[in-house]
């Protein structure tokens, strides 16, 4: 991976299944979770997406938006999102521009399963380079709660 914790996430602009483009500047001002996954509607990717779906209220209560990114098309994302009732945006990196910038391309040329937590300024505060699809959302929630508690104690 070309990027590490403490680095700023690279600038990007990717189309969303919701019909708008999402860029780094549109994410600034709040802690954000960006997770990369290999393919829509595959067993591991479905488990991971559904885990985020099932825990989305917790992320929302913390004010932390979740974005999923793969190299699949917007049409594929729309079918995947509808099939599993996913309540968060899926971004399409069909040109693999962000995947290449981050150095997370797998042997198959698709995105590896990796998650980034960005602070309000776009700095990477946590990278999860190896993810257990069915437990990852809970792992992130625990990390985010610890981060928020730490900030409260430091204030």
pLDDT per position as a tens digit, 14-68? 999 999 999 999 999 999 999 999 999 999 999 999 999 999 999 999 999 999 9
Q: Give the pLDDT score at 96.
A: 87
Q: Examine residue 19 and state whether it is found in any structural domain, yes or no.
A: no
Residue 115: give its domain's CATH number: 3.40.30.10
Number of domains in the chain: 1
Reported pTM = 0.93
The three-state DSSP-derived secondary structure of the chain is CCCCCCCECCCCEEEECCCCEEEHHHHCCCCEEEEECCCCCCHHHHHHHHHHHHCHHHHHHCCCCEEEEECCCHHHHHHHHHHHCCCCCEEECCCCHHHHHHCCECCCCCECCEEEEECCCCEEEEEECCCCCCCHHHHHHHHHHHHHHHHHHHC
Does residue 96 fall inside a structural domain?
yes
Classify residue 15: in a domain, yes or no: no
User: 24, 34, 45, 49: which is the annotated catalytic residue?
Assistant: 45
Per-residue pLDDT tens for 76-101? 999 999 999 999 999 999 998 898 88
Give the range of the structural domain holding residue 127, as residue numbers without chain letter: 31-154
Residue 9, domain member (yes or no)? no
Residue 45 annotated to the active site: yes
pLDDT band at 155 (very low <50, low <70, confident <90, very high): low
Mean pLDDT of 98-107: 80
Q: Is residue 136 part of a domain?
A: yes
Whether 51 is covered by a domain: the verdict is yes
Q: Is residue 76 part of a domain?
A: yes
């Amino acid at each position: 991976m070309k990027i590490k914790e403490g680095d700023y996430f690279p600038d990007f602009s990717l189309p969303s299944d919701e019909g708008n483009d999402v860029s780094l500047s549109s994410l600034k001002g709040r802690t954000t979770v960006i997770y990369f996954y290999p393919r829509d509607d595959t067993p591991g990717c479905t488990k991971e997406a559904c885990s985020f779906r099932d825990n989305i209220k917790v992320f929302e209560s913390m004010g932390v938006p979740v974005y999923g990114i793969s190299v699949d098309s917007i049409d594929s994302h729309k079918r995947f999102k509808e099939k599993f009732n996913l309540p968060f945006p899926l971004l399409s990196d069909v040109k693999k521009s962000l995947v290449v910038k981050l150095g997370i391309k797998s042997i198959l040329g698709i995105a590896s399963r990796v998650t980034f937590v960005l602070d309000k300024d776009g700095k990477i505060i946590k990278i999860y380079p190896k993810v257990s699809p069915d437990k990852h959302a809970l792992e992130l929630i625990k990390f985010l709660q610890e981060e928020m508690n730490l900030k409260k104690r430091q204030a």
